[in-house]
C-alpha cells in the first residue's frame, strides 16, 4: 500500500541519518527510578534491538537470528559494538518483504501499525544519539546518555536531567574505578557546577571490572538553563596479578562531552 511504501522510505531515511556515525549504537530508554543506583550489566545490541521493536517484528527477527539467517538479521558476533546502517536497512527490507504476504486488511493494518512504531524507534534513537557520547581510554569504554525530566523540573523550578553512565572494560587486564570528575556547563558555556577530580567512587561504588565486564549507574544534575553540556573523567587503576591485585598503573578514563537537552532543544 501507499502507506507501507511511505513508512518504508521514512524508516530507511532515519537509518541513514543514524548511520552518519558508525557504528549505530542503540540506546535503551533511561529509567530515572534507578537514579543513585549502580549495577553490573550484560547487554547485547541484538537484545536492545529486540526490546525496542514491536513484539511481532521482534519475534520475526529473533527467529532469523536464532537460525543464523544472516542475509536478514545481524547476528551477535557482528553487532557487539552496534550496527552498521547497511545491517539495519537489510533487516528493514526483509521485514517489509515479509509484510507483503500479509493476508487481509486486518493483518496488513497491524503491520502498518508496527511500522509506525518502528519509525518512532528510529526517531527516538536519533534524539538519544544527540544526548550521548562514547569514548575509549586504554581499553575502558565510557558511554553516557542524558534525558530531561519535565515534571520534576517544573516542581523544583529548575532544569533537571538524569543521566546513565556505562563503564566497560574492553581491555585485557582488570581495572578499578576509584574516583570521578565532572564539569557541567549551562547554555551560555559558563560553569554551572563541578565535581573535583578525585571525588570518591560513583553512587557509592568503586567497581572492579574484569575484561568484558560492564558497570552501569544512574545519577543526575540540575542547571539554570534548559540546555547544557557535561564532560569529565574517571580515575582508574589497572590491577596487577589479576582481580584484587596491586596497582599496576593509574590513568583517567575520559567521559566525552554529552548534551543536556531540554524541551527547547532542536535536532
Average pLDDT over residues 23-39: 95
Q: What's residue 66's pLDDT?
A: 67
Q: How far apart are CA 144 and CA 27, in angstroms?
A: 10
pLDDT bracket for residue 258 (50, 70, 90):
very high
Q: How far apart are CA 89 and CA 16, in angstroms?
A: 8
Predicted TM-score (pTM) of the model is 0.88
Is 170 domain-assigned? yes
Average pLDDT over residues 162-187: 97
**Phi, psi for 242 (deg, rounded to 5):** 90, -175
Is 256 domain-assigned? yes
**CA dist 232 → 105, 111, 161, 252 (Å):** 54, 44, 16, 9
CATH of the domain at 203: 2.60.40.1470
Q: Which residues of 173-195 are buried (b: 16+ CB within 10 A; e: fewer)?
A: bbbbbbbbbbbbbbbeeeebeee
Give yes or no: residues 176 and 252 share one domain: yes
**CA dist 147 → 61, 161, 205, 259, 267 (Å):** 29, 6, 23, 9, 14
Q: With 70 as the cut, is the pLDDT of residue 216 above it?
A: yes
Q: What's residue 100's pLDDT?
A: 65
Give yes or no: residues 201 and 217 share one domain: yes
Grid cell, residue 31, equals 529509567
Beta bridge partners, 209, equal 175
Is 36 domain-assigned? no
Is 37 domain-assigned? no
Give yes or no: residues 101 and 213 share one domain: no
Give yes or no: residues 223 and 142 share one domain: yes
Give yes or no: residues 149 and 100 share one domain: no
- Of residues 263 and 80, the one with the higher pLDDT is 263
Is 101 domain-assigned? yes
Give yes or no: residues 97 and 215 share one domain: no
Q: How far apart are CA 37 and CA 106, in angstroms?
A: 44
Give yes or no: residues 6 and 97 share one domain: yes
pLDDT tens column, 57-110? 888 888 876 665 556 666 666 667 788 888 888 888 888 877 766 555 556 667
Is 77 domain-assigned? yes
Query: How many residues make up the chain in this entry?
Result: 267
Average pLDDT over residues 113-140: 92
Mean confidence (pLDDT) of the chain: 88
**Counted domains in the chain:** 2
pLDDT tens column, 218-237? 999 999 999 999 999 999 99
Query: 171, 140 in Cβ contact below 8 A?
Result: yes
Q: What's residue 265's pLDDT?
A: 61
Query: 239, 207 in Cβ contact below 8 A?
Result: no
Domain interval for residue 162 = 134-261
Chosen domain end from 111, 130, 149: 130
Between 70-79, 127-136, 179-188, the lowest mean confidence (pLDDT) is in 70-79
Amino acid at each position: 500500500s501507499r502507506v507501507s511504501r511511505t513508512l518504508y522510505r521514512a524508516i530507511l531515511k532515519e537509518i541513514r541519518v543514524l548511520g552518519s556515525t558508525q557504528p549505530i549504537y542503540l540506546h535503551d530508554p533511561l529509567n530515572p527510578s534507578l537514579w543513585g543506583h549502580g549495577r553490573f550489566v550484560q547487554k547485547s545490541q541484538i537484545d536492545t534491538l529486540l526490546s525496542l521493536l514491536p513484539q511481532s517484528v521482534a519475534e520475526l527477527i529473533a527467529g532469523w537470528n536464532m537460525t543464523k539467517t544472516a542475509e536478514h538479521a545481524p547476528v551477535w558476533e557482528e553487532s557487539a559494538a552496534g550496527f552498521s546502517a547497511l545491517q539495519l536497512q537489510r533487516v528493514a527490507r526483509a521485514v517489509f518483504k515479509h509484510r507483503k504476504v500479509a493476508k487481509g486488511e486486518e493483518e496488513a493494518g497491524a503491520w502498518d501499525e508496527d511500522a509506525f512504531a518502528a519509525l518512532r524507534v528510529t526517531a527516538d534513537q536519533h534524539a538519544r544519539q544527540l544526548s550521548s557520547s562514547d569514548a575509549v581510554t586504554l581499553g575502558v569504554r565510557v558511554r553516557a546518555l542524558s534525558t530531561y525530566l519535565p515534571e520534576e523540573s517544573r516542581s523544583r523550578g529548575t532544569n533537571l536531567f538524569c543521566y546513565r553512565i556505562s563503564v566497560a572494560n574492553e581491555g585485557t587486564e582488570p581495572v578499578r574505578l576509584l574516583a570521578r570528575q565532572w564539569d557541567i556547563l549551562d547554555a551560555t558555556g559558563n560553569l554551572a557546577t563541578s565535581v573535583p577530580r578525585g571525588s570518591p567512587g560513583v553512587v557509592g561504588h568503586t567497581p572492579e571490572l574484569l575484561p568484558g565486564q560492564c558497570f552501569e549507574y544512574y545519577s543526575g544534575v540540575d542547571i539554570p538553563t534548559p540546555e547544557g553540556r557535561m564532560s569529565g573523567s574517571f580515575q582508574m587503576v589497572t590491577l596487577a596479578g589479576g582481580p584484587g591485585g596491586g596497582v599496576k598503573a593509574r590513568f583517567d578514563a575520559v567521559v566525552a562531552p554529552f548534551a543536556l537537552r531540554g524541551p527547547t532543544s532542536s535536532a
